[in-house]
Amino acid sequence: MVVTRFAPSPTGYLHIGGLRTALFSYLWAKKNNGEFVLRIEDTDKARNSEEATQAILKAFEWLGLEHNGEITYQSQRDEVYAKYIKQLLDEGKAYKCYMSKEELTELRETQMANKERTKYNGKYRDFDGTPPEGAEPVIRIKAPLTGEILVKDGVKGDVSFQAQDILDDFVIARADGAPTYNFVVAIDDHLMGINEVIRGDDHLSNTPKQIVVYNALGWDLPKFYHVPMIHNSAGKKLSKRDGATDVMAYKEMGYTPEALLNFLVRLGWSYGDQEIFSMDEMENLFSPKDINKSASIYNTEKLDWLNAHYIKNTPNSELAELLTQYDLVLTSHDKKEILLDELKERAKTLKELATLTKEILTTPTSYDEKAVKKAFKGNAIEVINTFGAKLSACGDLHLPTDYHAIMEETITEMEVGFGKIGQPLRVALLGKMTGPGLDSVMAILGKEETMLRIANAITANS
Ligand code: GLU
C-alpha cells in the first residue's frame, strides 16, 4: 500500500508551496488507494506554535484534504526517538561526543581559514578514554566519510552525493537529549510506514543524512520525489508579495478550494494540455512521475481564470452560502437566481461577486459626475420619466424580458435610439455607467425599487 505524508513544521501559516506538496502527496495516495498521513514537526519549541498548527489544520479543512488516521505530533514522541538513539549507541553506530562549544568554534574557524568545508573532525568517533569532567555529550551518528550516497529520485533521477563533500558524523541528539531534525524525520517516516516521500526540493540536501539514519537502522528507503520550487514571473523564488501567503488568505480573497487546488496541481505537473481538473480527475490522473524537472511559474491570471470558471459552474444556492462570508445574505432573496446567473459570469472571485451584488442591491446615494454629464443630455430625463410612468401603469413584472419590452415601447413611442434610454437608466439605477445587463438589474430590483431609483435620479439631476 502506498503511504504518503505531509509533514509541516508549524512555524507559521500553511503557504502555497507547502499546500502543493501536500496536494501531490494526497493525490498520489488516493490514486493508489493508499493513505495520506499528517505529521506535525513541532520539535523546535522556540519557533513552533499551537496557533500555527491550528491554522494548518483549518486550511486543510477548508480545502477538504482529509488525512488518514490520527495526526502524529513529533513533540509527543521523545521516548520513541530515545529508544533508537540508545539502539544506535548500543550497536556502536552512534557515539557520545564531548567536544566543547569553544573547541567546535575553534575547529570551524581553522577550517574556514584554510578554506576547507566546515565539518566535525571525528575526535570522539573511536574514543574509549575518560570523558572530560562535567562535559554533557551530544550523540553523533557514524556517517560514511567516503563513497557515494545515491538518492534515487522519482523527479530528478539519480542524484549522487559524495560523502566527503557533504557528510560528517552529524548530531542526532543534543546535550539535553533532544533529537535533531534529520534523525526524527527518518525515524518517523519509517515507523509511520511512509514509503513515498513527496516534498520540496529544498529538502534534497537533507536526504543523504536521512539515508544515513535509514542505513544505520537497516531500514528500506522510501521512494523520494523532490518537487522543484514555485517561482514568480521574474524567475525568482516565490515571496510573500507574489502570493506565498497564508492559504487562508486565498479564502478571504474569494478563491474557491476547487480553483486553488486545480491551480496548484498544474504548478509543476501536467496532463497533455488539459487545464481544468475536477478533484476526481486529479485523483485519477496525477502521478509524481510526471512532475516537471524545472521550477514552475506562479501566474495570478491563471488562478483568476480558473476561479472564474468554478464560480460560473457553482450552483446559485451554493454561491449564496459562500457569499455569507462577505456579510451578504442572499440565501432567501427571491431574485437570487437571476442575480447570480447574471453576476457569476462577471466575477473572478467570490469577493468580487459579493461587491457586484452589493452594488446592485444598494440604492445609489450619489451619481458618477462624468456619467451624469454624458447620460443626462437632451431629453434623457423625459425618456426615463416616461419609462417610469409605463412601469407604474403595468401589473407585476418578473422577467428581464418584461422590462426589456417596456424599454422598447418607450423608445418607439419617443422616437429615440436605445442609448437614449439605456444610458440614463443605467446611471439612475446604478449611479454609474458600468454594470451588468439593465433588464436583469431591473428584474432583480423589482418594479418598486426600479421606479424609486428612477425618481431619485430625476430629482437629483434635474
Ligand atoms: N517539516 C519540513 C518542512 O516543513 C518538511 C519535512 C519533509 O517533508 O521531510 O519544511
From 5, 41, 207, the mutation candidate for ligand 1 (largest count of ligand atoms within 8 A of CB) is 41
Q: What are phi and psi of 125, to 5 degrees?
A: -55, -45
Tell me the pTM. 0.92
Mean pLDDT of 136-160: 97
Is 41 touching ligand 1 by the criterion CB < 6 Å?
A: yes
Grid cell in block for residue 264: 496548484
Measured in Å, residue 9 CA sits from the centre of ligand 1 at 6
pLDDT of res. 241: 76
Residue bearing the CA closest to ligand 1, atom 7: 7
8 CA: nearest ligand 1 atom: 4
Is 7 touching ligand 1 by the criterion CB < 6 Å?
A: yes
Is 8 touching ligand 1 by the criterion CB < 6 Å?
A: yes
Measured in Å, residue 256 CA sits from the centre of ligand 1 at 26
pLDDT of res. 243: 66
CB-based contact 141:169 (threshold 8 Å): yes
Is 58 touching ligand 1 by the criterion CB < 6 Å?
A: no
Domains of the chain as residue ranges with CATH: 78-227 (3.40.50.620), 247-338 (1.10.1160.10), 363-461 (1.10.10.350)
185 CA: nearest ligand 1 atom: 9
Measured in Å, residue 307 CA sits from the centre of ligand 1 at 29
Is 207 touching ligand 1 by the criterion CB < 6 Å?
A: no
Q: What is the pLDDT of residues 153-199, one digit of tens each?
A: 999 999 999 999 999 999 999 999 999 999 999 999 999 999 999 99
Is 42 touching ligand 1 by the criterion CB < 6 Å?
A: no
CA pair distance 112, 70, nearest whole angstrom: 46
Is the pLDDT at 244 greater than 70? The verdict is no
Measured in Å, residue 210 CA sits from the centre of ligand 1 at 12
List the Cα angle 116/119/121 in 5-degree steps.
Answer: 105
Q: Please, where are the H alpha helices in 328-414? A: 336-343, 350-361, 369-375, 380-393, 400-414
Q: What is the pLDDT of residues 245-260, one digit of tens each?
A: 789 999 999 999 999 9
Mean pLDDT of 280-307: 96
Catalytic residue (choose from 96, 237, 240, 447): 240
- Annotation marks residue 152 as catalytic: no
Provide the strand spans (E) within 166-311.
171-173, 196-200, 223-227, 230-231, 296-297
Is 203 touching ligand 1 by the criterion CB < 6 Å?
A: yes
Measured in Å, residue 39 CA sits from the centre of ligand 1 at 9
From 181, 198, 199, 225, the mutation candidate for ligand 1 (largest count of ligand atoms within 8 A of CB) is 199
Least-confidence region, from 29-38, 250-259, 302-311, 329-338: 329-338
- In percent, the amount of the chain with pLDDT more than 70 equals 100
pLDDT of res. 240: 75
Q: What is the pLDDT of residues 332-380, one digit of tens each?
A: 888 899 999 999 999 999 999 999 999 999 999 999 999 999 999 999 9
CA pair distance 233, 242, nearest whole angstrom: 9
pLDDT of res. 439: 95
Is 185 touching ligand 1 by the criterion CB < 6 Å?
A: yes
